[in-house]
Amino acid sequence: MVTKVLKLLCVFFLSVTVMLCGCGKNSGATLCADFRADFTAHYKGLTLAGQIVNTRQGVESLDIDSPDTLSGLSLSYRSGEIKLNRGDAAATADESYLPGRSFPSLLREILANIAAGNYSIKENNTYSQSVSCGECVFTVDENGLPQSIEAGKDFSVEFINLKKTGE
Q: What is the DSSP string of 88-112?
A: TEEEEEEGGGS-TTSHHHHHHHHHH
30-164: CATH, from 2.102.10.10, 3.90.1150.10, 2.50.20.10, 3.40.50.1820: 2.50.20.10
Q: Could you read off the pLDDT tens digit of each residue along the chain, which spans 167 residues? A: 545 433 443 333 434 333 333 333 444 447 888 999 999 999 999 999 999 999 887 778 999 999 999 999 999 988 889 999 999 999 999 988 878 788 998 999 999 999 899 999 998 899 999 998 889 999 999 989 999 999 988 999 999 999 998 65
CA distances (Å), origin 97, targets 7, 47, 82, 109? 58, 23, 9, 15
Q: Taking the model in full, what pTM does it have?
A: 0.77
Within 10 angstroms of residue 79's Cβ, the number of other Cβ atoms is: 8
